[in-house]
Amino acid sequence: MIIRPQEHVVVENISRLGRSTLDLLQLLQLSEEQGIVFVSQKENMDTSTPTGKAMRQMLSVISELERNLLAERIREGLRASAKRGRRIGRPKIPRERMSLAIRMHSSGEYTINEILEATQMSQGTFYKELNRRKLLAMEKPLKGDNYGLSNS
C-alpha cells in the first residue's frame, strides 16, 4: 500500500499502529514529516488537529517514561544480581586454559584449530588474547631503551 502526502490513514484503534508506544511514536513522527494524517476512531484522535498533535506529544512523554522505567528496572535487576554474588556476562576462560593455548601457539607445533579444540575456546577469544598480549608487548619499552635519546 502506498500512502501519499495529505492522505488520511484511518485506524479503528491506535494500538494497531505499533507494538509499543515507541513504535507508535516513531510511525506518527515519520508520517507527520511526510504530511500523512492519522485518524483513530476509538481514541477520536486526528493528527491534523491541535488536539491530535497534543495527543502525539503526550505519547512522546509516555514513550520516554516507558524507556526510563525499563532502564531503571534493568539497573535494579543488575544491582540485585550483584548483591547475590551473581556474575553478569560470559564466564571467563580459566587462566590455565588460556596459558596452555598461548604456550601451544608459541611452540609453533600446533595449528590454530588444534589449539582451539584442545582448550575448548572460541577462535575470537583466542585471537583477542593474542592481540592483547601483542599490544602489551609493544607498549613495554625494552630495558634500558631510551628511544634513541642520549642521557645528556
What CATH number did the domain enclosing 21 receive? 3.40.50.1390
Sheet holding 8-11, edge to edge: 8-11, 37-40, 45-46
Quick one: pLDDT at residue 12?
A: 86
Long-range contacts of 126-133 (CB under 8 A, 24+ apart): 126/101, 129/98, 129/101, 129/102, 130/102, 130/105, 133/102
* Sign for the pseudo-dihedral over CA of 24, 26, 29, 33: negative
Domain tally, the chain: 2
Does residue 77 share a domain with residue 15? yes
Assess whether 79 and 12 both reside in one domain. yes
Q: What is the pLDDT of residue 108?
A: 93
Whether the CB-CB separation of 85 and 65 falls below 8 Å is answered with no
In tens digits, the chain (152 residues) has pLDDT values of 677 877 888 888 877 777 777 888 888 888 888 888 888 888 888 888 899 888 888 887 887 888 899 999 999 999 999 999 988 888 888 999 999 999 999 999 999 999 999 999 999 999 999 999 999 888 876 555 554 444 54
> Range of 111's domain?
95-137
